[in-house]
Amino acid sequence: MSQPWPVDTEPGLWPGDGDVRDVLDRQTEVLELIARAVPLREVLTEILTSLEHLMDGARCSVLLLDREHRTLHHGAAPSLPADYVAAIDGLAIGDGAGSCGTAAALNLPVIVPDVLTDSRWRDYRAAAVGAGLRSCWSTPIDGRDGLPVGTFAVYHPRPHAPTPREQLLVDRFTHLASVAIGHAHLLEERRARLEAETARRTAEELSHAKSELLAAVGHEARTPIQAIVGFAELLGTMDLDEARRREALAHIGAAAGHVMDLLSDVLDLSRLEANALPLAVEPVGMREVVDGVFGLLSSRAAQREFDLVHHLGDEVVLADRRRLRQVFLNLVTNAIRHGDVGGRVVVRAVPGDAPHTLLVTVDDNGPGIPPELRARIFTPFARGVARAERTATAAADEGAQEESIGLGLGLAHGLVGAMGGVLDVGTSGPGGTSMRLTLPTPVTPDRTPTH
């Protein structure tokens, strides 16, 4: 068994003080590598190289034990031929499995002065002789539990039995290998625990987020579904004139459309999370997209006395046309919904900071987003956005009302990211909000958008 020992307490075994200092210096170098958490193979290579320097003609290797499968695998062997290293990689341990396989199985050192005459080398003799190896001395490397975690082998090109000095050296460097392997195992166990803890927390957070999302979707869908049920009962139980019937059907259609939009957004979010949302990225003209969005929202903007303005020219971005339109629908709709009555939405575009990018801003002059909410503004159904369309007197009487931002901004953020862009939020003017989209642009001179 390998045990630590002080080199300076063995009189007569060392030629001089220089030999002792060399051993201590090399031991210190190895310990420094271990302390710096250098990869195990590099540490083992340094250990073996140091021992080979101290033992004339020696070639050393470390094999690591797979306890579950009872096999030895390559750890380090800086001076052994690659063919031989490959030949013994995966060696099954057992009495008669060469020096290393036998040492690991018996948990005892195995000294074979000549592989040509030792029966334990019968199945491996040809590989050893072909590699120019005649003797092999293998020592088990103890683990923290006292059982082998590997073997430390010393080969010579001629028949050889270890001297007392060589035995002390191998004990010392086998112990260093044990420390290195034990330290590597501790780091791996710590890493595995951290990864497991991170995975557990992530799973809990995802589960909690999904539960919150489902609850929020249910809450969001309840109102339009109640409207559908109420108007359906009205149509079924009362004799309404044609005008009232048309009005009830219009309310049912609007509520059903809201539910369908909500379900569509939820499906898009799930596909984004699974990286399964199909995109058709192509050159797209920004003016065309924004003009279309403004046209769709003109009635809603008029109801709240909003001005919709853009300062766009022939800017072209690389995006999925339908998804880019969806992004701007969400951004402008949120600006109208949460802004002051009589407000304003302005869309501008300037070259981005990175090459071949365009920065598009969607600015409003509404109440703005509180700093504490900006970090979660793209989280679906985050709460805390104060409605500002009420009069100042009503606000003072009722207090600031909070409402959910819904799925729109979270979906817009995911869509922009999927198209290779970035969406973030800032301030516009003294109190408004600025949504900033950075999108890639075509690299080629051809900036003609598709239609």
- The reported pLDDT for the residue numbered 385 is 46
* 94/72 Cα distance (integer angstroms): 11
What sign results for the dihedral spanned by CA atoms 216, 218, 221, 222?
negative
Is 205 within a domain? no
pLDDT in tens, 296-330: 889 889 999 999 999 999 999 999 999 999 999 98
Residue 238 and residue 255 share a domain: yes
- Judge whether 235 lies within some domain: yes
Write down the pLDDT at residue 296: 87
Residues 373 and 348 in one domain: yes
Q: Is the pLDDT reported for residue 4 higher than 50?
A: no
Domain-embedded: residue 48: yes
Indicate if 55 and 179 belong to the same structural domain. Answer: yes
How do the residues of the chain divide into helix, strand and coil, expressed in percent and rounded to 5? Answer: 50, 20, 30
Residue type, 258: H
**Which residues, including other chains, have CB under 8 Å from residue 234's CB and lie 6 or more apart?**
240, 248
The C-alpha angle 225, 228, 233, rounded to 5 degrees, equals: 130
183, pLDDT greater than 70: yes
* Structure-token match 């109801």, residue found: 303
- Greater confidence (40 vs 214) lies with 40
Number of domains in the chain: 3
Last residue of a domain, one of 145, 161, 192: 192
Number of C-beta neighbours around residue 272 at 10 A: 17
Is residue 265 domain-shared with residue 290, that is, in the same domain?
no
Residue 143: the pLDDT is: 93
Residues 292 and 369 in one domain: yes
Mean pLDDT computed over every residue of the chain: 85
pLDDT for residue 421: 94
The lowest-confidence range among 21-35, 368-382, 399-413, 424-438 is 399-413
Identify whether 203 is part of a domain: no
Q: Does 426 fall in a domain?
A: yes
Q: Can you tell me the distance from the alpha carbon of 312 to that of 317, in angstroms, rounded to the nearest whole number? A: 12
Check whether residue 167 and residue 61 sit in a common domain: yes
Structure tokens at 333: 């709709």
Work out the pLDDT band at 82, boundaries 50, 70, 90. very high
Helix (H, G, I), strand (E, B) or coil at 145: coil
- Burial code (b: 16+ CB inside 10 Å, e: under 16) for 406-426 equals bbbbbbbbbbbebbebebebe
CB count, 10 Å around CB of 79?
Answer: 12
Range of 23-27, 77-81, 221-225, 270-274 with top mean pLDDT: 77-81
Task: Find the mean pLDDT for residues 95-117.
Answer: 95
Whether residues 120 and 161 fall in one domain: yes
Task: Indicate the residue among 273, 292, 312 that finishes a domain.
Answer: 273
**187 domain residue, yes or no:** yes
pLDDT of 5 higher than 70: no
User: Angle of helix 17-35 relative to helix 40-54, nearest 10 degrees?
Assistant: 180
User: For residues 125 and 146, is the Cβ–Cβ distance under 8 A?
Assistant: no
Are 244 and 169 part of one and the same domain? no
Query: Do the beta carbons of residue 26 and residue 54 sit within 8 Å?
Result: yes
DSSP letters for 316-341: EEEEEHHHHHHHHHHHHHHHHHHSPT
Domain encompassing residue 222 = 213-273
Radius of gyration of the chain (CA): 37
395 band by pLDDT with thresholds 50, 70 and 90: very low
Are both 184 and 54 inside the same structural domain? Answer: yes
Q: Is 345 left (phi over 0), alpha (psi -120 to 50) or beta?
A: beta
Q: How much of the chain exceeds pLDDT 90, in percent?
A: 54
The answer on pLDDT for 337 being more than 70 is: yes
Whole-prediction pTM value? 0.54
Indicate if 36 and 162 belong to the same structural domain. Answer: yes
Q: Residue 397's pLDDT is what?
A: 37
- Within this chain, do residues 17 and 85 fall inside the same structural domain, yes or no? yes
Q: What is the CATH number of the domain that holds 220?
A: 1.10.287.130
List, as own/partner pairs, every contact residues 124-132 make where C-beta atoms lie below 8 angstroms and the sequence separation is at least 24, other chains included.
Answer: 124/87, 124/88, 124/97, 124/98, 127/83, 127/84, 127/87, 127/88, 128/84, 128/155, 130/83, 130/84, 131/80, 131/81, 131/83, 131/84, 132/81, 132/157
- pLDDT over threshold 90, residue 238: no
DSSP string, 377-398: TTSTT-EEEE---S-HHHHHHH
157 in the same domain as 43: yes
Q: How many CB atoms lie within 10 A of CB 347?
A: 24
Residue 273 has pLDDT above 60, yes or no: yes
Could you give phi then psi for residue 128, rounded to 5 degrees?
A: -65, -50
CA gap 95, 1 in Å, rounded: 17
DSSP element (H, E) containing 200: helix 164-237
Q: How far apart are CA 433 and CA 348, in angstroms?
A: 14
- Does pLDDT of 9 surpass 50? no
CATH of residue 20's domain is 3.30.450.40
198 in any annotated domain: no
**What CATH number is associated with residue 423?**
3.30.565.10
In a domain? residue 91: yes
